[in-house]
Structure 1
Amino acid sequence: MILCLGDESDHQLQHVVTTLHDLQQETVILNTANLGDQLKLQWQPLKNAFTLVVDNEYVDLDEAGAFWWQRFSAPPAANPVAGKNQISALSPLFYHQPERWYNPLSAIRFHQAKPVQLQTASALGATIPDTLISNDVTALKHFAEQFQDVIIKPVSGGAHTTLLRQHGVYISELLHQQDTGAVTLQARIDGLEVRTYVIGDEVFSGIIYSDKPDYRTDECAEAQATDTPEDIRSLARTICAAFGMKWCAIDWRCNSKGEFIFLEANPCPYFLKFEHETQYPLTETLCRALITTAEH
């Protein structure tokens, strides 16, 4: 059995589950937002027994051979204390056989520490943009003045990247608008947007054509399959493994010299649109990786 963590209405999750069924695999969809009437749990530490009750069906966690982390949704709670209590009650699930998770909790948390992720990628040999992460308006202004174009984005994600131009834009205003405290400023890299998916040893890359600073906001953005240089293929595998991930999507900028500049690595990326446009077998590759894990 393969347990899929996410919202049952999510199209990507539905697609992966359908593919697993076509490959003769039993699945359980676990939506943690349903904790309550639709989802119950039982945990007995002395017996090391964790049981889920999903829509009145009992699921023993030991029956799951692989786990796919598509998306975690916080359980409903009347107040912050109750919310922490709900998440704590779920914790045995996320610490259960982390080697069988795509991806484990540790990889999700490392992704949330994006400043450390960026530094680690650099230490592994990746080229990264000139970057400042700060809530000091004076320091941010000084950094921005050093470059013709700078992008601004939240430190932990959750909002889109925007282009900060020098004339007529005040960083203090942007800080107030984003209401995030600290922000990330990076020198804008001219070139192509490249996304690389790593699934085990398999590597798939595509150029994403878009006129906007963040292609996710561009309805006209389109991906096209492209060869991955061997050094980038090797580096992508290294980054994925070093970040504690079994699969991921890595975003790069490829400049006019053909150099790949690392932006970030996502442990639970969306891929259906990319797959459709590039014709890469991402779903099948991911599903077969999950099946291999479940069978061993």
Structure 2
Amino acid sequence: MNVLILGDRTDPHAAHVGQAVAQAGASVYYCNTQHFPTRIQLSWSPSAHTGTIMLPEGDRLDLHQIHSIFWRSFYGVQVPPLQDAQQASIAHKDALSALRSLMQACPAYWINSWQAYQFHQEKPLQLHRIAQLGVPIPPTLISNDPQAILQFYESYPDLIFKPVYGGAYTQRITPDHLNLDRLELASKIAPVTLQEYVPGTNVRSYVIGAEVYTAEIRSDAVDFREDAAATLIPAILPEAVQQQCVAIAHCLYLEWTAIDWRLTPDGQYVFLEANPSPMFLHFERQTGFPITQLLVERLIG
């Protein structure tokens, strides 16, 4: 049985999953997509429904021989430097199109799929879909309109902000951020996601299929990811919220995910985000929840 890890073998989570799958008796391969097309070779025939990928170590895998794929990290592609900018652009687009096509054509079982990864890039749409499920989300505005931002602040004076796409920590809004000159400048660079700050306790739920494992995260930081001293305490979600976890994963095309909640003082669980490739080793060690075991069972099942 062949299991492919999408990511680099030096990544602790990729290596951990790979080692666990290998211990369960499967053959494990790693694919760092940055090595395409310089060190990875692929071929695919849409008419014959056949394809192969040869990895840097020389291993050649037929697409139909890959049983499952664990999505840890997608690094895009990296073409050699070219002096001609147009040629460089064409080469990059060609390489990325070929790789993306092969990934979507591969019949292996994915945790998680290209569709899930793509949907994760559209976080505002994610929030919209979650709200349509009836799951509470914070009042939110995505905007690069200074007047709209100021009006939103008037309605919700306790705000946080973060990138629309991701890649930076959440911060609290201060009066300096709302300086009109600063807003005008920032609005010409990129939109921003604004949300009402939700007081309460950080809660993270890992969802694997129909299994849900949850812990409270004790931290005073606005974004607990910045707090190395944060502590994890296993918790049991109300049955209705557990069902929401499974519904959220299904809605976002996720076989597995980590959902971040804020538990308000009045007992309401407010959805913040669902991650398609969450880190989990620290969580597992702190709580004893069998995340690795469940992932391996799905990858080799």
Q: Return closer, same or farther for 1:177/1:259 CA change in 2, 3 Å cut-off.
A: same
Query: What per-residue deviation string (whole Å, max 9, x for no partner) do you get for residues 148-180 of structure 1?
Result: 410001111111111113x44326536856985
State whether structure 2 residue 21 is matched by structure 1 residue 20.
yes
Provide the residue aligned with 1:169 in structure 2. Answer: 177
Query: What per-residue deviation string (whole Å, max 9, x for no partner) do you get for residues 215-239 of structure 1?
Result: 1122222222111211110010011
**Structure 1 residue identity aligned to 2:286:** E
Secondary structure, in 3 states, of the residue corresponding to 1:232?
A: helix
Q: Return closer, same or farther for 1:82/1:178 CA change in 2, 3 Å cut-off.
A: farther
State whether structure 2 residue 217 is matched by structure 1 residue 215.
no
Query: What per-residue deviation string (whole Å, max 9, x for no partner) do you get for residues 176-231 of structure 1?
Result: 56985110100000000111110011100111122211111222222221112111
Per-residue deviation, 1:126: 0.3
Provide the residue aligned with 1:159 in structure 2. Answer: 168
Query: What per-residue deviation string (whole Å, max 9, x for no partner) do you get for residues 25-50 of structure 1?
Result: 11111110111343111122232211
Q: Which sits farther off after the overlay, 215-224 or 133-142?
A: 215-224
CA distance in 1 between counterparts of 2:89 and 2:232 reads 41
CA distance in 2 between counterparts of 1:174 and 1:208 reads 33
Provide the residue aligned with 1:195 in structure 2. Answer: 204
Aligned to 2:76, which of 60, 74, 77?
A: 74
Provide the residue aligned with 2:124 in structure 1. Answer: 115
CA distance in 2 between counterparts of 1:249 and 1:117 reads 14
State TM-score, norm by structure 2. 0.91
CA distance in 1 between counterparts of 2:241 and 2:152 reads 29
CA distance in 1 between counterparts of 2:25 and 2:296 reads 11
Secondary structure, in 3 states, of the residue corresponding to 2:98?
A: helix
Cα contact 2:232–2:283 (8 A) shared by 1: yes
State whether structure 2 residue 185 is matched by structure 1 residue 184.
no
Cα contact 1:50–1:92 (8 A) shared by 2: no
- Percent identity over the alignment is 36
CA distance in 1 between counterparts of 2:217 and 2:188 reads 29
Cα contact 1:38–1:56 (8 A) shared by 2: no
CA distance in 2 between counterparts of 1:53 and 1:99 reads 16
Cα contact 1:3–1:66 (8 A) shared by 2: yes
Q: Which sits farther off after the overlay, 263-272 or 78-87?
A: 78-87
Provide the residue aligned with 1:42 in structure 2. Answer: 43
Per-residue deviation, 1:146: 2.1
Per-residue deviation, 1:274: 1.2
Secondary structure, in 3 states, of the residue corresponding to 2:77?
A: coil
CA distance in 1 between counterparts of 2:166 and 2:53 reads 31
**Structure 1 residue identity aligned to 2:105:** H
Structure 2, unpaired ranges of 5+? 82-87
Q: Which sits farther off after the overlay, 272-281 or 248-257?
A: 272-281
State TM-score, norm by structure 1. 0.93
Per-residue deviation, 1:269: 1.1
Provide the residue aligned with 1:138 in structure 2. Answer: 147
Q: Which sits farther off after the overlay, 271-280 or 34-43?
A: 34-43
State whether structure 2 residue 152 is matched by structure 1 residue 150.
no
* Aligned ranges 1:86-97 → 2 under 5 Å: 86-97=95-106
Provide the residue aligned with 1:52 in structure 2. Answer: 53
CA distance in 2 between counterparts of 1:265 and 1:99 reads 23
Q: Cα RMSD (Å) of the superposition?
A: 1.8
Secondary structure, in 3 states, of the residue corresponding to 2:173?
A: strand
Cα contact 1:141–1:171 (8 A) shared by 2: no
Per-residue deviation, 1:9: 0.8
Cα contact 1:137–1:171 (8 A) shared by 2: no
CA distance in 2 between counterparts of 1:145 and 1:80 reads 45
Provide the residue aligned with 1:3 in structure 2. Answer: 4
CA distance in 2 between counterparts of 1:46 and 1:183 reads 44
Cα contact 2:51–2:62 (8 A) shared by 1: yes
